Structure 1
Amino acid sequence: MAQSMMRLFTELSSRKWIASITGHFSRSAASRPLIPYFAKMYKIPLHEAEKELAEYRTLNEFFTRRLKPGMRPVHPQPDALVSPVDSLITAMGPIEAGTLLNVKGQNYTIADLLNHSPRLEKYKHGFFFVLYLSPTDYHRIHAPVAGTKLESEHIKGRVYPVNDFGMTHMKSVLSRNERLITYIDHRPGEVALIKVGAMNVSSIQYTDPAAKAWERGDDLAYFEFGSTVVLFTENGTFQPLEGLKPGTAVKMGQLLGCFRRK
C-alpha cells in the first residue's frame, strides 16, 4: 500500500511544469538564503568550490558551481575513457544485443534510450555505464574522451526521480525522462553521452552550445539539480577497468577503462 501511494505521488509530481517552477525559484535571489542550509544538509565539500559560499547569488548558481583548478585530475593515459561526472556507478556491463540488463532490476533497450536514432546500431554490442549524481555531488558534466561532436539530440520527457525508489519502482525511468544526448567521435570509434533529467531538474544545459570539439575532461554540460548520466561505447572498442563494479563511487576524470582498436 505504501509503495503504491509513493508511486502515485511520484507520478503526479513528475510533470515538467513542476520542475520549471522549482527551477525558476532556484534561479531567483529569493533562493540565496537556502544555500548554507543546502550545503550543510548534503555535506558539500566547500573547500573544492571555485568561489566562497557567500559569493553565490542563487541556489542554482551554487548547485552548478565549478571547482577550483586541479580538484579533478584527468587520467593521462591516451586510450582512456574517464568518468564524465562525480557519481555512483549504479549499473555497468556489456550491451547484450541492444539491451542493458538488470539496471536496478529492469532491462532497457538502447533503441528507447537513444530515441530510435539511426546511430544505435553502433552500440548494440558495446558497453554501458549508468552514473547517478546525488545532491552532494559536483554537477557539471565533462567530456569522457577527446573528440568532435557528431550529433546532439534533445528528447522531451518526464522528470521521474532517478534515486533508488524511482529506478526500482517506476517503470523505465531512464528512457521516459527528458534526455540530452551527445554523440562524440574519437579514436577508435564514438561514444554516446546521455544526460537524463530527473525530478526538480529544471533543465540540462550545454556549457557552450556552439562547441564542436572537446579535449578529455573539458566542461561539456551541467544539470540544474541532480540526475543521471548514461554512457555508451561503440561495439568492440572498450575494455572496462578490472575490479570496477556497481556500487563504486567515482570522480570526474577517474579511469573507467581503456579503448582498443577495432
Structure 2
Amino acid sequence: MANWLLRLMTELSSRKWISRLTGRFAQSPASRRFIPRFARMYGIRTEEAEKRLDEYATLNEFFTRRLKPGMRTVDSDPAALISPVDALITGAGPIRTGTILNVKGQDYTIDELLNRSPRTESYKDGYYIVLYLSPTDYHRIHTPVDGVIVEREHVPGKVYPVNEFGLRQMRRVLSRNERLITYIRHGSGEAAVVKVGAMNVSSIKYAEPKRDQVSKGEELAYFEFGSTVVLLTEDGTFVPRNDLQPGLKVRMGEKLGMLVTE
C-alpha cells in the first residue's frame, strides 16, 4: 500500500511544470541564502569549488559549480575510457542482444533508451555503465574519450526520480525520462553518453561553446540538480576494469576500463 501511494505521488510530481517552478526558484536571487544550508545538508566539499560560497548568486549557480583546477585527475592512457562524472555506479555489464539486464530489478532495451535510433544496432552486444549523481556530487559532465561528436539528440520525456526508489519502483525510468544523447566517434568505435533528467531538474544543458572535436575530460554538459548518465560502448570495443560493478563510487577522470585497440 505504501509503495503504491509513493508511486502515485511520484507520478503526480513528475510533471515538467513542477520542475520548472523548482528551477525558477533555484535560479532566483532569493535562493542564494539557502546555499550554505544546502552545502551542509549534503556534505558537499565546498573547498573544491571554484569560488567561495558567498560568490555564488543563486542556488543553481552553486549547484552547477565548476571545480578548482587540479581537483580531478584525468587518466592519461590514450586507451582508457574515463568516468564522465563523479557518481555511484548503479548498474554495469554486457548488453545482451539489445537488452540491459537488471538495473535495480528492471530490464531496458537499447532501442527504447536510444529512442529507436538507427545507431542502436551497433550497441546491441556492447557494454553499459549507469552512473548516478546524488545532490552531493559535482554536476558537470565531461567527455569520456577523445573523439568527434557525430550526433546530438534531445528526447523529451518525464522527470521521474532516478534514485533508489525511482529505479526500483517506477516503470523503466531511464527510458521514460527526458534525455540528451551524445554519440562520440573514437579510435575504437563509438560511445553514447546518455544524460537522463530527473525530478526537480529544470534542464540538462550542453557546455558552451559546443565543439565537435572533443578531448577526454573536456566539459560536455551539466545537470541542474541530481540525475544519471548511462554510458554505452559499441559491440566488442570495451573491456571493463575488474572491480567495475554496482556500488562502486567513481570520480570524473577515473579509468572505467580500456578501449579495444587494433
The letter of the residue matching 2:121 is E
Moved more, 40-49 or 203-212: 203-212
CA separation in 2, counterparts of 1:87 and 1:188?
25
Structure 2 SS opposite 1:136: coil
- In 1: Cα distance, 2:227 partner to 2:243 partner: 25
Q: Distance in 2 between matches of 1:243 and 1:142?
A: 22
Which residue in 1 is equivalent to 2:243?
A: 243
3-state SS, counterpart of residue 192 of structure 1? strand
Secondary structure in structure 2 of the residue aligned to 1:258: strand
Moved over 2 A (4+): none
Structure-2 residue corresponding to 1:164: 164
Counterpart in 2 of 1:22?
22
**Structure 1 residue 214, shift from structure 2 partner:** 1.1
Matching residue of 1:225: 225
Q: Match of 2:34?
A: 34
In structure 2, distance between residues paired with 1:43 and 1:137: 9
Structure 2: how far apart are the matches of 1:190 and 1:260?
Answer: 11
Aligned residue runs from structure 1 range 3-152, under 5 A: 3-152=3-152
Q: Percent identity?
A: 64
Q: Which residue of 1 aligns with 2:203?
A: 203
Q: Is the 8 A contact 2:79 2:261 kept in 1?
A: no
Please report how far the alpha carbon of residue 209 of structure 1 lies from its aligned counterpart in structure 2 after TM superposition: 5.2
Distance 2:209 2:190 in 1: 20
Determine the C-alpha separation between the residues in 1 that align with 2:210 and 2:238. Answer: 29
C-alpha distance in 2 between matches for 1:28 and 1:138:
21
Structure 1 CA distance for aligned equivalents of residues 160 and 78 of structure 2: 37
**Which runs of 5 or more residues in structure 1 are unaligned?**
none
Deviation at 1:261, TM superposition (A): 3.0
| CA contact 2:184–2:191 (8 Å) conserved in 1 | yes
Q: 1:242 offset after TM fit, Å?
A: 1.0
Structure 2 partner of 1:186: 186
What is the CA distance between 1:100 and its match in structure 2?
0.2
TM (normalized to structure 1)? 0.99
Letter in 1 for 2:205: Q
Once the two structures are superposed, residues 53-92 of structure 1 have per-residue CA deviations (whole angstroms, 9 ceiling, x without a partner) of: 1000000000000000010110011100000000000000
Paired amino acid for 1:31: S
- Deviation string 1:88-139 (CA, Å, 9 cap, x unpaired) is 0000000000000000000000000000000011100100000000000000
Residue by residue over 1:12-37, the C-alpha shift from the partner in whole angstroms, topping out at 9 and shown as x without a partner, is 00001110111111011011011010
